[in-house]
Amino acid sequence: MRYKKLTIIFIFTFALICVAGELCAEEIKFKILLEKEKVTPGERVRMELIFFDRTDVPKIDIPEVEGLDIRYRGSSIKPITEDGSTEDSAVYMYSIVSRAAGSYTIGSFRIEQEGDVYVSDTAVVEVTEGEPEGGGESSEKKDILDGRIYLEVEILRDEVFENEKIPVVVKLYTDWLDLEDLAVFDEIGMTQLAGVYKTGKSEMVTMKGVNYAVMDFSKWFFIPTPGEYTFGPVKARFNIVELSGQPLNYNEDFYKKVIGRHGKHLIEIESPKKIIKVLPLPAEGRPDDFKGAMGSFTLEAVVAPKKIKEGAIVNLTTEISGYGNYKTVSAPEIREQEGLRVYEPTAEEKEGRVIFTRGIQILSADIKAIPDVKFSYFDPVEKKYFSLFKGPFPVAVSQGGGLAAVEKAKGPEEKKEPLAEEKKKTEEMIDIKTSAGDLRKASPVFYGLAGTVFLGMLPLFFLGTSVLVKKRMDRLVNDTAYAGWIQASKEAAKDLTKARSLMRKGDPERFYDHVFRMTQRYLARRFCFAPGGITEEIVSSQIRLRIENGDIADAIESIFNDCYLSNYAPLEFEQSDMENTFRKVKKVITELNGIVYI
């Protein structure tokens, strides 16, 4: 019972909270504003949903309107005036395209979203065949791509001076188009006269009730010769990306549906040309040291070190900064003075300044200061020349060391020609070499691909060979049968040669004696016996058992038999007998050489 009451209270409380939430839900009104109310089929019209005095409203999903293709394009917060008061208001922007003629009513909408209710008024767009409203009227700016994107070029002045830095700002106005791979360029390109366009700020502007995203691109250039020139057109090349996600019209063909709506379109637009008149620099008031620097500059200079010995070199660093064409800026001039040797400067250009460093050799201890430096430029805004001075720069020069001391130590004649080594140090460039060195015909490199591969493989070959040799050496030491086989084979080859020689001499006594000994020695090595222990009996009893081939054993026995008989009656043996015995010996050795282990 108690649980039943609790359940009823819980349900009632829950329902109350829901109703209260619904009752408390805020109703937010917004306006529908159309760019045009009369358009032609296919013409794009901008529609804005304006939430007056509200900046915290989320994007609402407006319902589809039959016959209209509505696409969301972005949002902004801008001041909107209503009933005499101006307040920051959220504005959501859409584009509307209708393919067919007719009258289309947009709204009124009542949209519930995230607990709030959004209520709008109504707008009507009339789509009629023929000229669109306002069509054919001359526009201040030439619109391209259905009036959605165009370029404007801003140049410093129409009249400039030769070599004057001419900044140019290109503004790309775009109305809700998504651009990719954007490149801005002009005919001057990247020559020595100009740099590349750098992307600057982006902002939203409203012109004649139309909101534009504006992108700035800037660069500068200069024209070295007076005359009248045409700048531009500046071109912008980009891809337009068709947004997807909106419902398709059924009257669009397949190509447009699949490719046209989702693809990229490469577009190139260009700005109008600009005429620039380039004036020559005035001759009046031109300083003697003027070398063409154009702009408005400041000069800083420093000398280091300030305490030196005569003959040493100090560095004079001058920095020119300011606004202008740095390509026309050269090193400030230093006033000539006895006892100083001034070297050519080196230049280093950094952002917004150029630093020149030059060495100055102090040739005399009488020098008290490095003279002042002068830099002259023409200011194209003021239209007159200016000269900047810095210095002189005090230095404390002590005697001793250096070139001057060397010169002083020598007689007056030697003073005219400083030591070659010292002269070498003081030249701008070190002198040529008197010896041609290892002058020879240029030889092909030894580290070409084939050579490198060969030289790289060679040690690996050595390594492999070494491993094989080592293995063989180890085997010869550890494997008696193998060692015996190798040694027996080598000795047998020599012994056969000698036996053939004795046979040809027709000396049966010595022939058979040699054959007997060589056979004994060979068999002893192969079967690991003492050489004297090899007899016909051993052959019959032991060696025959180890040789599977009975013919060989028979041949060995026959050889021994011949040798025994020759001991008793050597003269009985003729040349043919010796040849027969030699063949048997050769056959035995050849057969047994083919077997490693017996």
Partner 1 sequence: MRHFFLISILFVHVAGLAGGLNVSGGGGISRAQGAFTEGNTAYENGDYEKAVEEYGSLAEKGFESGPLYYNLGNAYVKKGDIGKGILFYEKARQLMPRDGDLLANLRYAKSKMKRHDIPVKRPVVLRWLDMAMSYITIRQAVFAAFFLYYGMIALIIVTKVFKKTTITPTLPMLIMSFFLAIILIALPQKFRDTERGAITLSRITDVRLEPSDTAEPAFPLYEGMKVYILRQKGEWFKVKRTDGKVGWISSPNIEAI
Distance CA 292, CA 294 (A): 6
3-state secondary structure of 36: coil
Quickly count: other Cβ atoms within 10 Å of residue 144's Cβ. 16
For residue 235, the minimal CB distance to partner 1 (Å) is: 11
DSSP string, 368-420: -EEPPEEEEEEETTTTEEEEEEE--EE-EEE-SSHHHHHHHHS-HHHHHS--H
Q: Torsion-angle region of residue 449: left (phi > 0), alpha (psi -120 to 50) or beta?
A: alpha
CA 198 to mean position of chain CA atoms: 21
Which amino acid, one-letter code, is at 393?
F
For residue 343, the minimal CB distance to partner 1 (Å) is: 10
Q: Using the minimum distance from each CB to partner 1, give the nearer residue, 416 or 441.
A: 441
For residue 365, the minimal CB distance to partner 1 (Å) is: 27
Beta-ladder partners of 297: 322
For residue 279, the minimal CB distance to partner 1 (Å) is: 25
3-state secondary structure of 8: helix
For residue 488, the minimal CB distance to partner 1 (Å) is: 25
Beta-ladder partners of 398: 309
Cis peptide before 108 (omega within 30 of 0): yes
Q: Using the minimum distance from each CB to partner 1, give the nearer residue, 244 or 435.
A: 435
For residue 325, the minimal CB distance to partner 1 (Å) is: 14
Beta-ladder partners of 38: 126
Q: Using the minimum distance from each CB to partner 1, give the nearer residue, 237 or 544.
A: 237
Q: Using the minimum distance from each CB to partner 1, give the nearer residue, 97 or 182.
A: 182
Q: Using the minimum distance from each CB to partner 1, give the nearer residue, 185 or 290.
A: 185
Residues that bind partner 1 (CB under 8 A): 185, 189-192, 344, 346-347, 428-442, 445-447, 455-456, 459-460, 462-463, 466-467, 470
Q: Using the minimum distance from each CB to partner 1, give the nearer residue, 225 or 576.
A: 225
For residue 35, the minimal CB distance to partner 1 (Å) is: 38
CA 331 to mean position of chain CA atoms: 35
Distance CA 549, CA 554 (A): 9
Quickly count: other Cβ atoms within 10 Å of residue 472's Cβ. 12
For residue 477, the minimal CB distance to partner 1 (Å) is: 13
**Adjacency order of strands within the sheet including 68-82:** 68-82, 85-98, 44-51, 27-34, 116-120, 110-113
For residue 295, the minimal CB distance to partner 1 (Å) is: 18
Q: Using the minimum distance from each CB to partner 1, give the nearer residue, 3 or 446.
A: 446
Q: Using the minimum distance from each CB to partner 1, give the nearer residue, 450 or 530.
A: 450
Find where tokens 């190139």 sit.
268
Rounded to whole angstroms, what are the CA distances from 74 to 71, 90, 384?
Answer: 9, 11, 51
Q: Using the minimum distance from each CB to partner 1, give the nearer residue, 409 or 439.
A: 439
